[in-house]
Amino acid sequence: MKRREFVQTASFAAAGLLSLPTFLAAGKVNAATLGLQLYSLRDSIPNDPKGVLQKVASFGYKELETYSYKDSKIFGMDFMEFGKYVKSLGMKVTSGHYGWDIVRGNWEQAVKDAKAIGQSYMVVPWIAQEERGSIASFKKLCGELNKAGEICNKHGIRLGYHNHAFEFDKVDGQVPYDVMLAELDPKKVSMEMDIFWVVNAGYDPIKYFEKYPGRFEQWHVKDMNKEDRNKNADVGTGSIDWKPIFAKAKQSGLKHYYVEQESYPGAPIDSVAACAKYLKTIL
């Protein structure tokens, strides 16, 4: 290639790169890091984990977030065996959800198992109603999460907390989610933002990215039904505009994102396929 042609081609390439969304140009997340929270397929994966995982891989998913780990087992499989099988399909387990029973039980063993299969994150996804009656209760739980995060850090894992809508219902005149952001040590606990539930609660996820940059290292991506805001829609068919949200991925601190469906317009496996197809068009 002649020098003039090279310079011209490089200029066009640079211009094209600058036109890309910030998150893609930065190489943080794109279609090659398409993720799925396996809870989306909770009706089928416990009975046929290998068959379901094969379908998930065929849709183009590359990163998985698990649920239901207990005592080094998952979906009836040894946890190490599960991790190896996922890898054989060209995917990897990057995160998992863990209940308070595990956090308050043999937590270090769970952390060791997560590290052994290559996970980067462990996430606590829920607070029982009886434990969220006051701001003092939320602060106490944050203390527990900070301690659990110390153990994660020791093994090279990041702890996270996943929200629903209840964290935005005022308690004692305060928004619990804001209290949690203040009480949780960013060095020990990251946030996994479930964008659907933030919008469902009447808040703007982008404003949280702007106020707390870098805190939201993982996302749950699920859309909102246009007729019933408490139901999911396949991503790209609902009322949430995903392009401006993903354009703020770098400000968010995003490392991994996962499709998660809790309700479906049809068969769950079809929703998982449809969500992947849409996200590939915008990433």
128 within 8 A of 154, measured Cβ to Cβ: no
Backbone angles phi, psi at 78, to 5 degrees: -60, 140
How much is the pLDDT for 70?
Answer: 97
- In three-state secondary structure terms, 35 is strand
- One digit per residue, the tens of pLDDT, for the chain of length 283 reads 343 443 443 443 344 433 334 334 334 688 899 999 999 999 999 999 999 999 999 999 999 999 999 999 999 999 999 999 999 999 999 999 999 999 999 999 999 999 999 999 999 999 999 999 999 999 999 999 999 999 999 999 999 999 999 999 999 999 999 999 999 999 999 999 999 999 999 999 999 999 999 999 999 999 999 999 999 999 999 999 999 999 999 999 999 999 999 999 999 999 999 999 999 999 9
Task: Count Cβ atoms within 10 A of the Cβ of residue 165 and give its class: 0-12 exposed, 13-18 middle, 19 or more buried.
Answer: middle
Model-wide pTM > 0.95: no
pLDDT at 29: 83
CA distance readout (Å), 277 to 43, 238, 244: 21, 15, 18
Positive/negative CA dihedral, 76, 82, 88, 91? positive
Residues ≥6 apart with Cβ < 8 Å to 120: 94, 95, 157, 158, 255, 256
Contact yes or no for 97/125 (Cβ under 8 A):
yes
Tokens of 88: 């054989």
Give 91-107 as a 3 state SS string.
CEEEEEECCHHHHCCCH
Residue 235 has, within 13 A of its CA and on its CB side, a CA count of: 31
With contact defined as beta carbons under 8 Å apart, do 62 and 90 qualify?
A: yes
SS3 state at 228: coil
Rounded CA-CA distance 277/234 in Å is: 10
93: which 2 tokens? 């387990």
216, 191 in Cβ contact below 8 A? yes
* C-alpha pair distances (Å), 223 with each of 158, 183, 231, 273: 26, 29, 9, 14
At 28 the pLDDT is 60
Tokens of 214: 């870098």
- The amino acid sitting at 25 is A
Q: 77 forms bridges with which residues in the sheet?
A: 74
Q: State the virtual CA torsion across 77, 78, 79, 82 in degrees, nearest 10.
A: -50
